[in-house]
Structure formats: structure tokens, C-alpha cells
Amino acid sequence: MKRVQFEHSAIPYLFVAPQIIIIVVFFLWPAAQAIYQSFLLEDAFGLSSQFVWFRNYEDTILSESWLQAAGFTVLFSALVTFLSLALALLLAVKANEVIRGASTYKTTLMWAYAIAPPVAGLMGNLMFNPLIGDLYKFLNAIGWDFNHKLDSFDAGFVVVLISVWKQVSVNFIFFLSGLQGIPKSVLEASLMDCKSSLRRFWTITFPLLAPTTFFLMVINITYAFFETFGIIDTTTRGAPGGATTTLVFKVFQDGFRGADIGGSSAQSVVLMIMVLALTVVQFRFIERKVHY
Amino acid sequence: MKLKPLLAALALSTGILAPMQASAATEIQWWHAMGGRLGEVVNEIAEKYNGSQSDVVVVPTYKGGYEDTMTAGIAAFRAKEQPHIIQIFDAGAATIINAKGATVPVADLMTDFSIEDYIAGVRYFYADSAGKMIGLPFNSSTPLLYFNKDAFKEAGIDAPPKTWEEFEAIAPKLKEAGYIALAQSHSPWIFSENFHSRHNLQMATGNNGYDSTDVELLYNNDHMKMHWGKVKQWLDDGHYGFYGRAWGDNQDAFVQKKVAMWLGSSGSFGGLTKSAEFEFGTTFLPYWESITKEPTGTFIGGAALFAMAGHEDDEYKAIADFFGYMTSSENQVFWHKETGYVPITEAAYEDAKAEGYYESTPDAEIGILQLSLPGGEWTKGYRLGYYVQIREVMYKHFDDIFSGSASVDDAFAAMEKESNALLVRFNDTYK
């Protein structure tokens, strides 16, 4: 009997080519460039360059300002991820239970989804303006000696608040659809077994939401690391005293403002490694606990 | 950083957007950082010039703020798509001038060029160590003290302070009248760079950085620390308002009558006449009598126009012709009156005077008078690498002084260490 051999055609490769080209041109090539540049000391205009091994890494990531930014980034990302997930989950569970006017609640909560981070930042900046900002005046009126221009805690509060506000609606949409995907029969069965709604939530609903939560966690950490750049740039710009400078913002400051290409490339490479490591950890260790 | 795709995108967009030239006129691309009203004036200048002759067409393009414009120019240069003329600001001067082969010096470009034609305060800021002018000073400004005359009347004060000692005497009176005495909009420029020029103090080794890139910053000195100790004291006593580092937020505090005096730019004059609903005056940047009895002038801030390398000979002729128009008295007086930036040539200043402009608006002359004050060894400016980042370092530590999280001594020690590390990096990169 003759073995059936499929003819290999070039057509499938043609179909995936656009995606592959996009990945190569916009992701792999720039990443390779960043790695290459991170070993060079080169003037901004590219007229002279020298290979310096790890000099750029030593100069930048061992500096106090980088370490300060790294510390803030970790704290900031943890806070933004946790708070925006927790708040969105609470809102989704409550909105899911509402019967009268449910769509009004849902639509209102989803609204902020379309707002870009820099726009959210500009709005926040106005609300926290020391001369005309309502939130600034309100916080001072209730007895909080609030001054985000000088106090690093207050500045952190501003950027976390805006970043969380912007992200809650995204998470809300996912949690709500996740909740609606839980079979009614399971929920009804649990209702027979347990009276406490809180206990039912933690033992039945929450584990069933785990795939959604895991997905959102990955998305939110990426958001907190990278996309909040627009919020930082339009509000505190890393002030006061570098207290709200994230790693991405520092890459921007050194590379795009300061024209230090080698130094900011080295920082990008380190950031790339950090995110890669974080993703590995998430998929290796946390995803194991997720049941699909 | 991932510059390459950016370059490609830039190259594409400029290539597509550049209007097709039907005639034989040489097209000159001019990238600038003048937004809002200033941008309109830039366009007017280009239109006037284009209308005045038929050989050259200047196309101005707004590229965002100073840093954005510099970054765009650098990216374009690396993609060999650079504009003919680019506006580079004071803090970026070292980056472009030290990159050998990125620009063509103005002094070489222009026929019958003489540096003596320019007013004293602007001559050498964009020149090399031998005194050869590299960039053509364009929007030149200098820090001035603006004061609210109504507030001064309410507080019973006759004249604005000449010295910081006088300031300390009147600040409590203004506080009683319900005002914070002072705010300012740019602490590196006003309270550091020009602080040194006003008191004729050296701010960096190697002739303020003009002679070499192997230099160290000298900000960690007793006079600077004394000044910043005082500023912190004023903040705590309610005589100094800090509204963040954004230029506009501090200017707004003056416009909204929260503060009675504001240190800003001579270029802010035009905008303030429109926004301030009270009578205000301008005067020189105050000095400390305890440091010097003979204060010296300030140097210019703002930006200059650089002719970028890598173009054809006829294009350089066109650039030279346009630069000739830019420095003409007629254009300088127009620019000066429209924007409040100072005229850069002696002839233009004389023309504005002859017109009687300063009799009707005496405040517009204060900036030029300050730039024409007796100079000293250290009033020519500075040339420091990675100065954009050094300013970031300064802002960071000034914040720490204000918030009290670092003492003045500690803040300046840390500033010195971090700034000098950046200067070492710059020297190793550009040597």
C-alpha cells in the first residue's frame, strides 16, 4: 500500500506571512537593535560609536535613580494590578446581581474603557491642579494636607488612582462576561449546599472565574508596567524627587529627552528581561492553579 | 531605544507630506519648536521671506516641544532625512555642537558675517571655544522678575526688590496683604544657571564647559547652597509658592494673583499682557548683595537655529540667504515686538529704540538691558553635555530640598555626584 503523503504547498506560509513580517519588523528587529545599541557608546547623531561591553548597564541600572525607579515600578504595578482587579471584581459581582436598570449600570461602568491613558492623565491633572483642581481642594478640605507636588506619597496616590480608574472598566467587562459564563446549574446547586453568599463566592464563583482572573492579571501587569507611561507623562512626570518615575518613563527621559541612546537601550533590555521573567513565572507557577 | 522604525516612519511621513515643488526654487525645510502664537509668528516670517524673493521656499514645520524637536532631528539625521534648519534649545546645544559633522557653522555659512553685530549677551552662547558662532540665536530670552503693581500698592511697597535682601524685607508685608511673595518657573535656568551668571560665578570647570567635555559641575558651592537654603526657608515661611515644575502652573499662580512676584522669561511678556488682569511691571533678576556688590548680566535662554550637515551647496546658499533675512533689522524688530523675545543684533535694538517702541512699552526693554549689563568672566553661558538629564537630576534634588526629605548639603552633594557621572558618560561618548 502506498503511504499517503500530503503535498506541501507554499500557500499556508503566504497566509501567515503578514503576521510574521509584522512581528519581525516591529518587534524582533527593534529588540535586536536595542540589544546591539546597549553595548555601544554612540553620539546622538550616529557619527561615532565604540563598543563598550556592559558599560551602559553599569552606568544606568546601578545608579540610584534607576534603583529608585525600579522600586517604585514594582510597588506601583502591584498596587495598580491588585486594586483594579479587586475593584472591578466587586463591581462586576454587584452589577451582575442587579435586576432593575442592569444595563444602565453596566454601560456606565464600561464607559471609561474608551479613554486613552494620556487623556485620563490630563483629566486627572486638571482635577488635582493646586489652583483650580476640585479633588485637590476637596482632599485639603477634609483635613488631608494634600500636596502631590511635594509629597511623594500624595504623588503616588494620584498616579495610582488615575491608573486604577482607567483600568477598572476594562477588567469589569471581562469579569462580567466571566460571571455570565458560569453555568446557572452550578450556582443553583451551591445555593442548596451553602447559605452564606460570601462563602459561595469564594468556593464556587471565584475558582470558576480563575481563567479570567489569570488572563486579566497578565494584562494588568503589562498595563501597569508600560501603558501607564501616558498617565505619568501627563501628570507628575516622575516628580517629586523621582518618586513616581517608572522604568519605562526613565527609558523615555534618557533616550527621547536626553539623547542617550546606549543608556536607554540598556534599560530597555533589562526591562525586557524583567517582563519576560515575570511572564514565565506567571505561566509556570500561577497558571498551574488555574482550572479551565 | 527602538529608533529604527521611528526613523522609517518619520522618513515616510516627511517624504509624503513635503509639497511637490513645480518651480526651480530651492526648498528649505525648517523644523521648529514654537507652538501656539509663537508658531503663527514663525509662519508669518516664512511667508514674508518667501514673498520677498523667488529662489528659495522656506517650509516651517512644528515638531513639538524643544526636546521633541531635537529628538525628531536626531532621528531624521540618522535616517539621512534631516531638515535643512533645526531649532535646538540651550540645554541641547552641547549635544549638537559636540557631534562633529552634524551641523555647518553659521559663521562659515553666511557671507560678511561679524559676531560683533550681535548684542553682547547672545554672542557666545552658541559659539565654539574659539568664539566661532555655530548656531544662529533665534528666540533669545532672559529671566526677569515680574511684579503685580496692585499687590505692591496694597502692601505699601514702592519699588520691586533689586536684591534678595530687599526681597526678604518686603515679603512679610506682601504676606500680610494676602499674597505669597514669589514663585518662579524654571529652577535650573533661573535659580542655578543665571544665578551663577548674575553673580559672576563659575558653574563648571573647563571654562564652563566651552573648552572641553572632560569637565565637572561646580553647583555644589556655598553660594548656591546659601541661596537654596533661603528658598526653602521662604517656602516654609509662606513667602515662596511652589506649584510643581511645570512652567505654566507657576505663571498661572501669578496671573491668578496668588503670588505677587514671578520669575519668568522676557519672552513671557507678550502672553502676560493678554492674560493678566492687573497692572504689572518687570525688573532685573535680583541678586544677593552678600555675594557681590557689582552684579553682572545674565545670558540668553531659548534656542538657536542650526544648519544641518549633508545637504547640497545650492541649498546652503539658500539657508545663508534665509539666515541673512532672519538677522535683518526689519525681521528682528517684528519678532521682538510680536513675541517679547529680545532682538539679537545691535542694529535691530537701535531700530526698535529709534521707533520709540520702548517709550510706549518700557517693560519690553528690560530683558535687553539685563543682557547688556556689564559682563564678567562667567556670564557667557555654558556648554555641558547631557544637560537635559542633568536638569532632571537638579529638579529631583530641588524637590527633595523643598519637601524636606534631604538637607541642602545632602541634596547638592548627591546632585554633584549624579551630574558628574553623566558628564563622564558624555565625555566618553563624544571625545
Q: What residues form DSSP beta bridges with B280?
A: B148
| Inter-chain touch A150–B242, beta carbons under 8 Å | yes
Q: What does the H/E/C string look like for B244-296?
A: CCCHHHHHHHHHCCCEEEEEEEHHHHHHHHHHCCCCEEEECCCECCCCCCCCC
Model confidence pLDDT, tens digit, residues B71-115: 999 999 999 999 999 999 999 999 999 988 999 999 999 988 888
Q: What share of chain A in percent tops pLDDT 90?
A: 67
pLDDT on residue A3: 65
State the Cα angle at B141 between B137 and B144, rounded to 5°.
160
Is residue A124 one of the residues assigned to a domain? yes
Residue closest to B139 by CA, chosen among B152, B126, B148, B128:
B126
In order of start, what are the domains of chain B with their CATH numbers?
Answer: 3-141+300-371 (3.40.190.10), 143-298+386-430 (3.40.190.10)
| Gap between the Cα atoms of B41 and B334, Å rounded | 9
Is residue A44 one of the residues assigned to a domain? no
pLDDT on residue B21: 44
**Overall average pLDDT of the B385-396 stretch:** 94
Cβ(B180)–Cβ(B260) below 8 Å: yes
Is residue A174 one of the residues assigned to a domain? yes
Using the Cβ of A273 and the Cβ atoms of chain B, whether some distance falls under 8 Å is answered with: no
Instruction: Cell 515686538: give the residue.
Output: B337
Using the Cβ of A253 and the Cβ atoms of chain B, whether some distance falls under 8 Å is answered with: yes
Count of CB atoms situated within 10 Å of the CB of A189: 12
Amino acid found at A182: I
Average per-residue pLDDT in chain B?
91
Model confidence pLDDT, tens digit, residues B47-60: 999 999 999 999 99
pLDDT on residue A2: 60
Q: Please give the biggest Cα pair distance in chain A.
A: 89
Beta strands in B136-188 (DSSP E): 136-141, 143-148, 180-184
Model confidence pLDDT, tens digit, residues B275-306: 899 999 999 999 999 999 999 999 888 899 99
Is residue A45 one of the residues assigned to a domain? no
Residue A95 region by backbone torsions, left for phi larger than 0, else alpha for psi between -120 and 50, else beta? alpha
Interface of A with B in 19-78 (CB under 8 A): 25-26, 29-31, 33-34, 37, 41-48, 52, 59, 63-65
Using the Cβ of A240 and the Cβ atoms of chain B, whether some distance falls under 8 Å is answered with: yes
pLDDT on residue A1: 55
Instruction: Cell 475593584: give the residue.
Output: A87
CB pairs under 8 A between A and B: 127
For residue B328, pLDDT beyond 50: yes
- Check residues B42 and B116 and name the one with the higher pLDDT: B42
Cβ(B49)–Cβ(B338) below 8 Å: no
Q: What does the H/E/C string look like for B334-356?
A: HHHHHHCCECCEHHHHHHHHHCC
Using the Cβ of A158 and the Cβ atoms of chain B, whether some distance falls under 8 Å is answered with: no
- The grid coordinates of residue A278 equal 515575570
Amino acid found at B104: V
pLDDT on residue B219: 96
Is residue A259 one of the residues assigned to a domain? yes
Is residue A96 one of the residues assigned to a domain? yes
Which of B1, B399, B400 is opposite residue A261, by nearest beta carbon? B1
**Which stretches in chain A have pLDDT values below 70?**
1-4
**Residue A267 maps to which CATH number?**
1.10.3720.10
Q: Provide the number of structural domains found in chain A.
A: 1
- State the angle between helix axes of B408-430 and B387-403 in degrees (0 to 180), rounded to the nearest 10: 170
pLDDT on residue B11: 47
Query: Among the residues of chain A, which ranges form H helices?
Result: 11-23, 29-37, 55-61, 64-97, 102-110, 117-127, 134-141, 152-180, 184-193, 197-200, 206-208, 210-222, 229-234, 247-252, 261-281
pLDDT on residue B2: 47
In angstroms, the separation between the Cα of residue B48 and the nearest Cα of chain A is 32
- Greatest mean pLDDT among B279-288, B335-344, B358-367 lies in B279-288
pLDDT on residue A167: 94
pLDDT on residue A34: 93
Is residue A205 one of the residues assigned to a domain? yes
Cα-Cα-Cα-Cα dihedral of A42, A44, A47, A48, to 10°?
Answer: -20
pLDDT on residue B340: 85
pLDDT on residue B369: 92
Which of B96, B386, B399 is opposite residue A260, by nearest beta carbon? B386
Which of B242, B388, B396 is opposite residue A242, by nearest beta carbon? B396
Using the Cβ of A272 and the Cβ atoms of chain B, whether some distance falls under 8 Å is answered with: no
Which of B1, B67, B258 is opposite residue A264, by nearest beta carbon? B1
For residue B1, pLDDT beyond 60: no
- The grid coordinates of residue B76 equal 531624521
Which of B2, B92, B395 is opposite residue A30, by nearest beta carbon? B2
**Overall average pLDDT of the B345-361 stretch:** 92
What is the residue range of A107's domain? 57-289
Cβ(B251)–Cβ(B257) below 8 Å: no
Closest-CA residue of A relative to B2 is A30
- For chain B, the straight-line distance linking the first and the last C-alpha, in angstroms and rounded, comes to 22
Using the Cβ of A121 and the Cβ atoms of chain B, whether some distance falls under 8 Å is answered with: no
- The grid coordinates of residue B60 equal 516651517
Instruction: Cell 509668528: give the residue.
Output: B41
| Gap between the Cα atoms of A274 and B146, Å rounded | 49
In a 3-state reduction of DSSP, which class is residue B204? strand
Is residue A223 one of the residues assigned to a domain? yes
- Cβ-based burial of B384 (10 A; exposed 0-12, middle 13-18, buried ≥19): buried
